[in-house]
A and B are shown apart, each in its own frame.
Chain A
Amino acid sequence: MDSLSVQNVNQIYGNGTAKVHVLHDVNFTAEPGTLNLIMGPSGSGKSTFLTIIGGLLTPTSGTVSVNGTNYTDLSKKERDQVRLESIGFVLQAYHLLPYLTVADQFKLVDKVKPEANLTEDELNNVLEMLDIKELLDKFPGELSGGQQQRVAIARALYPNPSIILADEPTAALDSSRVVVVAKLLKDLAVKHHKSVVVVTHDSRLMAAANHLYEMTDGYLTQKN
């Protein structure tokens, strides 16, 4: 079963002369165990694609299936539930809650989704890999941008989602950290059998990708 399947998705904003066709007949599949990299210039439709496959936006036409469930048929509340249980968002704007320590960011996930999250050992492994284990008592305001980004990645992984969607996950990281994050995403895909989709400008992630796609003017093409 495909973890994430997109079929004939079109996204059109506005109408008449103000009509903008953002996505054109996009077909895409992210199988478990693969890291899929979607690259493209700004304004090409990458972010719109991400919001649609993440269930935040209903496409004008086409279907999006998550673990066999057609997203477009679900109510807003049901989509919230699917996102909470199955999708981990790693966002460029990480916006950690400023009044929660790093440890509390994970506790919040426990409050909202008490079951099936990472075990303590698994979380410790992620924290060690991201080199943020020593930051558990810190507030976001006490962290650098890169550290906050890594905490946001760990927070997205903590609910143990089967699909990981990342929007420019390495935007605030230096080259050495990019290697770490690339390895982490690859490990999540290969070792933990997750479907990972990364939307990025960062060509340094290309080496880790199983499949490379390019988005140009709303058209998605597979490069390998």
Chain B
Amino acid sequence: MFLALKEIRKEKLRSSLIVAMIVLIGYLIFILTSLALGLARQNTDAINSWHVNQITLNANANVDMRQSFLSADNVGKLSNQEAVIGQTSVVAKSNQHKQLSAVFIGLKDTQFVYKNIKLESGHNVNGAHEIVVDTAFKTSGYKLGSQLTLNDDKQKYTIVGFTEGAKLNIAPIVYGQLNTWQHLRGMTSGPVASAVVSKNAHYQNNNTGVKTYTKQQVIDKLPGYQAQTATFVLMIGFLMVISLIIIAVFLYILTMQKIPNYAVLRAQGVPSKVLVKATISQSILLVICGLMIATGLTALTAVIMPASVPVAFDIPVLGGVGLGLLLMALIGSLIPVRSVLKIDPVSAIGG
């Protein structure tokens, strides 16, 4: 640490350049991670908020709730651990506000999903023409009591409550009664739901024509979800590798310049481990400095980021990413460490 600190203090420009690189990479990784997380959450917020483990869909729906229709026979008998939901895509229209594409989720008021809706304001749905909507509607100017129509239905629906984090596949959710879902789909008889959701991790619906999936299986099949997630993971992975290469190259160059000095120290009996520790400490100190600045920039960005940007600054996740970068620094320092270990002190003799 002594050598590392002394060198960083003396070689301010070089150290600043390396730190600047790490700041840029760290900042980019933090923002990309937060965006990935934000987008992922907007895909899955609603499903996660229901606290379900198993989801039963029509066996021919390709694990897609939008394509699934269940008859009363399909649904079968439910315990208080299960609930039915009806899902359909809607366009919310109002004369005073812009149109919003949304997902309508029809619920039964006796079941747990309905009861667990966390309201930010207003009250829960009590009638066929009442709806509770995601706060994204509020951002678009809707208020409690605002009326809107859904798709080409002439019926006006009144917003009686707002709920936070109710998004499915990035679209805001409109919660209403299950009967309203049937009405919107034009199916007053026949299908009774899109899905059966269960809190029971071992729930299996063995009725004909249906299949039960885990929550994650359904999430993974959300349109575009895996492509989005994989893209971000790849980008973050590449940035990690780039950070590793930058740290390794800079440290290697710095270390190679010091080889004659180190050879003299080795000749004088200074153990290799002292020089190895100096190299690793230098790498870690530079990365920690870079990460601290990147964290500050990320925090600043979090403050000024518009609410419309799907970004989630999750401290444990970002902490994990920061640790990942530190690990990259450690790995990156192994290449110069190898050079240090190979120093031949004989080279110090004879000028």
Contacts and interface: CB of A to CB of B under 8 A. Distances in A.
B269 interface: yes
Given A91-B348, A99-B10, A84 B268 contact: yes
Interface of A is mostly: mixed
Interface residues of B, number: 26
Given A80-B271, A95-B260, A100 B346 contact: no
A83 to B, nearest CB: 3
A91 B349 contact: yes
A97 B270 contact: no
B348 A95 contact: yes
A80 B269 contact: yes
A217 interface: no
Nearest to B274: A112
A81 B351 contact: no
Contacts of B349: 47, 50-51, 54, 56, 91, 167
Interface in B1-18: 2-3, 6-7, 9-11
B10 to A, nearest CB: 4
Given A93-B348, A112-B274, A104 B6 contact: yes
Contacts of B263: 95
Nearest to A57: B346
Contacts, number: 86
Contacts of B266: 80
A82 B345 CA distance: 14
B60 interface: no
Q: Which of A50, A54, A92 has the most CB of B within 10 A?
A: A54
Interface string B337-351: 000000001101111
B261 interface: yes
B7 A112 contact: no
A25 interface: no
Interface string A66-102: 0000000000010011111101110111111111100
A196 to B, nearest CB: 16
Contacts of B348: 89, 91, 93, 95
A156 B268 CA distance: 8
A59 B267 CA distance: 16
B24 interface: no
Interface string B244-279: 000000000000001011011111111100100000
Contacts of A92: 350-351
A98 B10 contact: yes
B264 A91 contact: yes
B261 A98 contact: yes
B10 A83 contact: no
Contacts of A47: 349-350
A94 B268 CA distance: 11
A133 interface: no
19 contacts: A47-B350, A54-B349, A56-B345, A57-B346, A80-B270, A81-B269, A84-B270, A87-B268, A89-B264, A92-B351, A93-B264, A93-B350, A95-B263, A97-B261, A99-B10, A108-B2, A108-B3, A112-B269, A167-B350
